[in-house]
Structure 1
């Protein structure tokens, strides 16, 4: 049995964007044992995927101390990114290593395949990652993101919603109001979210909103929850990553900006509306092969847009049109 290692240390979204490449490797080598190492706080994303046999954590601080007694443990390793300690670890534990071209000529000389990265925003992020398996002749096996909610997690989510959402609570809509602080230009104004939810409640008086997010956007999520009152449940900063995903898997519609939870929703293949800034347009990051994704791009997408362009340029009416279409084409589940 071949043993294959995949290393991807990144944020939630970039972690999920690698899943089609890992699926491609697993499809090409159906009898191989695949181990996937990720960021200590994000490796749980890959748990329970049917094509990943083992998951674990690694980072550039721990990597120099790892693998000294496991030389040639793997037949091949694929390394995403450019962290030298991760590359050196892979070179210790694998007979062959495939990676993007590094700044170090010494490391490049030791790689089995050196993969040229594309120009900035020349390709979708999924296709960039598919370059690694393609370098050894492995074709894509789909470009959709992958995430697996377990039955136990689904039971927890249904019980949690029964506890926190008064009947009928339909449609059940998830909201992600902010990206992470270094990408704050992607954030749609909270007052736009308020105006949008007002429109939704005018058309669907029984709508209930689940407010997702982390601790960084507490002020905004609290403002939105106060605006919605009993028509909402505030989960921002209160859930684990996998609990968030299990709740997302139960909602009728998701509305969010470009950030990690939006990529999780992309992998669940449920109705979703995603808002993209012009500097990070949907053609580079939007869900692929998704049956019910409704994309709203900034008006300046692909027009030499800078991070200074405000997300408020995406009007409430544009997102409202996407909401009405999504709920019309995918009617909510009665509760």
Structure 2
């Protein structure tokens, strides 16, 4: 049995596929399982023990490279292809793979690309929604947490990284990620500055900002509005190393972004601020430690962005976020 799973991008979306990956492996323990995706999302699957091979497609690759990839896929002679991405590109990769069984989300213009077009909507949480594609193939879905496996190499990196920052063993770290490349996900920097100052003054924690290449300006904006010092900036590191750093933190606070999903996979409490996206789609249901905070001005289900003032983000108060943080700190006895 040879199986191809497809989710081309982004970090959070690929992580949302990991319960499905686990489910496929349990159903077919001896199968050869490949996963087609792009960088940097491929880093999420680097150590995943349920995948035999990661096929990496360069983002915005030329047409010739895509033709080469299609030829590669056809040579693999897959028995089953499951398209979790469900856009035109992934749909055509699925169809042209030549697999006898091709599963994807039902779309009136792309249903011919699949032998099994599936009408989803049974589950709201995105990770579980992807599991609904498996049910069509007879695979029993496992409603598990999202996975991001790492090695001891990354844990060693995290230990030395924090040591070099001067963090002592008994000091508590809260990670904060005020970044996003989507304007409808960026809570105001001033609000993050107020949250960080509050945590430093009330609980004496160390604030470590989490960001990627080219995102330093988000951090600089927040720091410029703060009254207290935070841990210094640093050259951005890999996603797996970020995952290891989260294991050393007591909580993560931030926008709806890739680091939020990585923090959730590490098992630490998280508080995420949501703008346009629905929090329930990206927050584990029935979780006591992973909270998504949002405000609905009456248009979230029929969003008109960018023809709005992003009230869904701007009307989330720092007081509300602090209340949620304090509830988790109290209930989990974090500090």
Match of 2:126 in 1: 125
Provide the C-alpha distance between the structure 2 equivalents of 1:289 and 1:147, rounded to a whole number of angstroms.
Answer: 20
What do the CA deviations read for 1:276-326 (whole angstroms, capped 9, x no partner)? 22x312112112464521332225477657443332311111111122222
Q: TM-score scaled to structure 1, two decimals?
A: 0.86
1-side partners of 2:40 and 2:300: how far apart?
36
Match of 1:284 among 269, 281, 284: 281
Match runs of 1:176-255 below 5 Å: 176-180=177-181, 183-205=182-204, 207-226=205-224, 227=226, 230-235=229-234, 238-255=236-253
Q: Judging changes above 3 Å, is the alpha-carbon distance between structure 1 residues 220 and 88 closer, same or farther for their aligned structure 2 residues?
A: closer
Task: State the TM-score, normalizing by the size of structure 2.
Answer: 0.86
Partner in structure 2 of residue 295 of structure 1: 292
Residue equivalent to 2:104: 99
Give the match for residue 328 of structure 2: 326
Residue number in structure 2 paired with 1:116? 119
Partner of 2:85: 81
Structure 1's unaligned 5+ residue stretches are none
Bigger drift between 96-105 and 296-305 goes to 296-305
Output the CA distance in 2 between the equivalents of 1:331 and 1:154: 24
Aligned pair in 2 of structure 1 residues 224, 85: CA closer, same or farther (>3 Å)? closer
Q: Distance in 2 between matches of 1:200 and 1:305?
A: 36
Deviation at 1:208, TM superposition (A): 0.8
Q: Distance in 2 between matches of 1:224 and 1:296?
A: 20
Structure 2 residue 68 is the aligned partner of structure 1 residue 65: yes
Q: Aligned match of 1:315 in 304, 307, 317?
A: 317
- RMSD, matched Cα: 2.7
Once residues 75 and 230 of structure 1 are traced to their aligned partners in structure 2, the CA distance between those partners, rounded to angstroms, is 56
Equivalent position SS for 2:71: coil
Residue 204 to residue 169, structure 1, CA distance change in 2 (3 Å): farther
Whether the 8 Å contact between 2:4 and 2:34 is mirrored in structure 1 is yes
Query: Which residue of structure 2 aligns with residue 161 of structure 1?
Result: 162
> What is the Cα deviation at residue 85 of structure 1?
4.5
Aligned to 1:38: 37
CA distance in 2, matches of 1:327, 1:150: 29
Classify 1:188/1:88 alpha carbon distance in 2 versus 1 (closer, same or farther; 3 Å): closer
> Are the counterparts in 1 of residues 83 and 103 from structure 2 also a CA contact under 8 Å?
yes
**The residue matched to 2:201 in structure 1 has which SS?**
helix
Do the aligned partners of residues 83 and 276 (structure 1) sit closer, same or farther apart at CA in structure 2, a change above 3 Å counting?
closer
Are the counterparts in 2 of residues 165 and 233 from structure 1 also a CA contact under 8 Å? no
CA deviation after TM superposition for structure 1 residue 150, in Å: 1.4
- Do the aligned partners of 2:173 and 2:207 also contact (CA within 8 Å) in 1? yes
- Contact kept, 8 Å, 2:102 with 2:115, in 1: the verdict is yes
Indicate conservation of the 8 Å contact 2:155/2:241, yes or no.
no
Aligned pairs (5 A) from 1:6-45: 6-45=5-44
Aligned equivalent of 1:257:
255
The alpha-carbon distance between structure 1 residues 232 and 100, as it changes in their structure 2 partners (threshold 3 A), is: same
Q: Which residue of structure 2 aligns with residue 51 of structure 1?
A: 50
The aligned length equals 323
> Quick check: 2:125–2:282 contact (8 Å CA) kept in 1?
yes
Deviation at 1:229, TM superposition (A): 5.8
Q: 1:7 to 1:304 in 2, by over 3 A?
A: closer
Q: Following the alignment from structure 2 to structure 1, what is the Cα–Cα distance between the partners of residues 107 and 254? A: 34
2:320 & 2:129 partners in 1: Cα distance? Answer: 30
Shift of 1:223: 2.7
Give the C-alpha shift of residue 21 in structure 1.
1.7
Change (3 A) 1:14 1:301: farther
